[in-house]
Amino acid sequence: MKVKSKLADIDFQFGKFEVKRNHLVIHSHPDQTMQSKVYVSPDDIFSGLVRAFSNPLVWIYFLGFPVFFVIYRRQRKLKRMEGR
């Protein structure tokens, strides 16, 4: 997952997940140079789902996900082959 902001552009790879109190804590992958944690509250989950499912583009993305996934994987494979 890419996170872009005014402060930094980070390629966030998921590591382990844990639950602390009422929060889901997502750790970055141990191989990443900038270790980070994302704390997700129940309100974050609820508001994110409400916003996502009220947006028609998200539904289109979910319905088209198998196609997007195959295309994305093929493009990554081609880029890796070109880089050799």
- 64 shares its domain with 39: no
- pLDDT, one tens digit per residue, over 30-82 is 998 888 899 999 999 999 999 999 999 999 999 999 999 999 999 989 888 88
pLDDT of residue 18: 96
Tokens encoding 38: 């994302």
Q: What are phi and psi of 74, to 5 degrees?
A: -65, -45
- 31 shares its domain with 64: no
- Our CA angle for 61, 17, 52, nearest 5°, is 25
- 44 shares its domain with 61: no
Alpha-carbon gap, residue 34 to 12, rounded angstroms: 9
Identify each DSSP E strand in the chain by its residue range.
2-4, 9-11, 14-20, 23-28, 37-40
Its domain, for residue 82, covers 57-84
pLDDT higher than threshold 90 for residue 1:
no
- 43 shares its domain with 4: yes
- pLDDT, one tens digit per residue, over 60-73 is 999 999 999 999 99
How many structural domains compose the chain? 2
